[in-house]
Structure 1
Amino acid sequence: MDGLGELDRRITGCRACPRLVEWREEVARTRRAAFREQTYWGRPVPGFGPSDASLLVVGLAPAAHGGNRTGRMFTGDPSGAVLFAALHEVGLASRPTSVSADDGLRLRGVRITAPVHCAPPANRPTPGERDTCRSWLTAELGLLRPVLKAAVILGGFGWQAALPAFAGTAWTVPRPRPAFGHGTRTVLAARDGGAPLVLHGCYHVSHRNVATGRLTPAMLREVLAAAAADAGL
């Protein structure tokens, strides 16, 4: 098992945040009516994508009836439908849909992760839960360091949660910290003599953002394409 595979295995066994453990397991027991016959994952959801990814997509946390059900990031929920369709359009995913962990989907040069690996009540992790989970993201970044060149951060929560992890790995985050914004492009210089990291801000692919037109598929594709170019994809 490679380093990321071992990290993913360890993540799935985490029980560090009692509120999140209780919620994710309660959702897995009660289930949504539409998925009544399915067995929910009900555990922390690890990252998804190849170990040589030069581009990282960072979300917020798994959805209660999406990743918490299927065991794969952004899989089985409306947000994932938007994200994977866009990834496919720009040539980073083998298919435009992601419905289950065994559907054959493959990502090209991109890995998807989140600063919080458990589904939170109301999609809102607490600051303490965010900080507790940060060690997993820092470890993931450390393993990707030799190949990682760019990252797309979905939403302000992900942006604020990810910056300390980048700073704790190999890159320097300017002070004051760069503000989140859709279309923001920020270059983090490396402290270890390696390549810098180019951050791209993007509105989250939440149902609200998509339904209101705050984020359109074209806007998402534009950010992903720009980040893919920075990542050499």
Structure 2
Amino acid sequence: MFHKEGQRIVLASFFICCSIILLAHFFIELPLIKISLQITVLLLLVLILQFFRNPKRIVKRDFDDILSPVDGKVVVIEEVEETEYFHDRRIQVSVFMSPINVHVTRYPVSGVVNYSKYHPGKYLVAWHPKSSELNERTSVVVHTPKFGDILYRQIAGAMARRIVNYAEVGEHVHQGEDAGFIKFGSRVDLFLPLDCGITVKLNQNVIGAKTCIATALDKNEEN
């Protein structure tokens, strides 16, 4: 299953690749060059197809848990000053997505969207410390019954040139649902309350709508 944001690219890539393979078959006489070109085109098509895949995931929704909004690797866990919305100290958890990861953004929590804003910007590599402030990005805040406001930020990387964000202010959203898409390499930052329990570690691979990023401390105490 492919994400709707990639349908045109997938179809166009499929027809272009098929055309190149057929043209190579009929017009290139040297077998080595012909086969090399055809294999290269097929590999590029496979990369495009896997990039826009949108696997269906059954989400076990829990108001006490904050789920990862994307697939990727945890590259930042630190206390920072969040200056766009909260203007106070928060725990930042950042997940970097390589080109081979699923790039669908999913809501990490259920609640009401209180804030949704797009920021044009640069295209620094997504793991750059300043990418959260300087790169093209969107910031979304969801108000939850358990944690209050949770902010997640989609950040474009060096290759990314389009961020898709579906969140609209006032909308009721559900944990694990499709919240957007970032094309070709990116990162998502979460800004969480200081009093929540972080359940992931640096360099841990996480799965969107599956891996728990943080839990309510009272839940940890119960367990």
Which TM-score band applies after superposition, normalised by the shorter structure? under 0.3
Q: Taking CA–CA contacts closer than 8 Å with sequence separation of 6 or more, which of the two structures ends up with the larger relative contact order? A: 2
Larger strand fraction of residues: 2
Q: Which TM-score applies when normalising by structure 2?
A: 0.24
Larger helix fraction of residues: 1
Structure of larger gyration radius = 2
